[in-house]
Structure 1
């Protein structure tokens, strides 16, 4: 752990989820595979179209509706629907198939195993601080078995614009009835988590997986989430 700025008293700790509490790459890979299988089952015309096709549909939709990027779930759902229409499905059928495909994606995307040592760390932190989650994605703390440790989870889209916008951090402070500086936010993305937290007046801990050089420093830099045990 590197300390760049002394922490002022912390009342709550906010966690990013993806790639902070677990490795998100295999989770997304499994979710993408589940979505493709559902599409092939309910709309055979999609066979042969891989994840790249559906990613391009998302990019096209984002050009038409830039704000859709702030809601990852809705962005994916509507992009799948648009892609199905492009392949020749009627709008009504496309909407139904997209819902089924997105549900398959979400079920796999929220099937996440938290390592025992990470959960043990969270239990220790929860005995001293209020814990919350602030995520740009749509992982579910309850489905990963952390619902009893966290006060609540905020997601980009339903709860505000995605990090690094201030929205989610400000909503968190209001719900906790704290000042932003009383919240320490921890995440792996320098842009989303560190800059977002600092922009909102929160303190920031950066889980730096890649030892990247940056011009704006967090309060502390971590190389392993277990280093947070020092806060206990």
Structure 2
């Protein structure tokens, strides 16, 4: 662990979820596959149905309305509907099939298995600090089996604009009845987590999973660490 800035008193910890508490790439890949398999069951073989096509639909929507990105579940659902209507389905048919495909996606996307050491670590930290989750994604701490350790979870969309916008950080501070500077946010993403936390007035602990990338930061976190176990030094 490396400290770059003097830490103020810490009264609560906020956690990013994706790629902080677990590796997210495989999770999303399985969810995408489940979505495509469900669509394949419901659509004619002639319909285009691959990751690149659905990604392009999301890009088209984001170009038309950048705000749609702040709720990734709604964004994906609207992209499914758009991609289906473009291929000839009626609006009603597209909406129904999109809901079924999205359900398959979310079922697999929220099927997250944490490493055995994660829950004990969170338990240790929760004995000293209130814990909250702040995520741009749609993971579910209830289904991960750790909701009992967190005061609450905020998700972009329902909880405000996505990180690095300050919305969710400030909402968390308000709900915890704390000044932002007394919250230490922990996350892997240099923009969403480090810049986002600092811009909101929180302290930032950067989980640097790619050593040697410090030079890419435009603003230093308070703390840099390389494995979750380092957080025991706060607890």
Instruction: Check whether TM > 0.5.
Output: yes
CA contact (8 A) 2:47 2:87 kept: no
CA contact (8 A) 1:40 1:46 kept: no
Structure 1, gaps ≥5 residues long: none
Shift of 1:215: 2.8
* Alignment match, 1:55: 55
Summarize the Cα distance change of 1:46–1:205 in structure 2 as closer, same or farther, 3 Å threshold.
Answer: farther
Q: Is 1:227 aligned to residue 234 of structure 2?
A: no
* Alignment match, 1:82: 82
Q: Is 1:216 aligned to residue 203 of structure 2?
A: no
1:136-192 deviation digits (Å, cap 9, x = unpaired)? 001000000011000100000111000000000000001111110110000000000
Shift of 1:29: 0.6
* Alignment match, 1:10: 10
Rounded Cα–Cα distance in structure 1 between residues aligned with 2:28 and 2:165: 24
Q: Is 1:68 aligned to residue 68 of structure 2?
A: yes
* Alignment match, 2:181: 181
* Alignment match, 2:150: 150
CA contact (8 A) 1:45 1:87 kept: no
Rounded Cα–Cα distance in structure 1 between residues aligned with 2:40 and 2:55: 17
Structure 2, gaps ≥5 residues long: none
CA contact (8 A) 2:39 2:49 kept: no
State TM-score, norm by structure 1: 0.98
Q: Is 1:199 aligned to residue 199 of structure 2?
A: yes
1:48-83 deviation digits (Å, cap 9, x = unpaired)? 521000000000011111100111000000000000
Matches within 5 A, 1:81-120: 81-120=81-120
Rounded Cα–Cα distance in structure 1 between residues aligned with 2:161 and 2:49: 31
1:91-119 deviation digits (Å, cap 9, x = unpaired)? 10000000000010001000001111111
CA contact (8 A) 1:39 1:46 kept: no
Rounded Cα–Cα distance in structure 2 between residues aligned with 1:109 and 1:208: 24
* Alignment match, 2:159: 159
State TM-score, norm by structure 2: 0.97
Which shifted more, 131-140 or 36-45?
36-45
Rounded Cα–Cα distance in structure 2 between residues aligned with 1:182 and 1:127: 17
**Structure 1 counterpart SS, 2:186:** strand
CA contact (8 A) 1:207 1:225 kept: yes
Rounded Cα–Cα distance in structure 1 between residues aligned with 2:8 and 2:143: 33
**Structure 2 counterpart SS, 1:44:** coil
**Structure 2 counterpart SS, 1:142:** helix
What stretches of structure 1 move > 3 A for 4+ residues in a row? 45-48
Shift of 1:225: 1.2
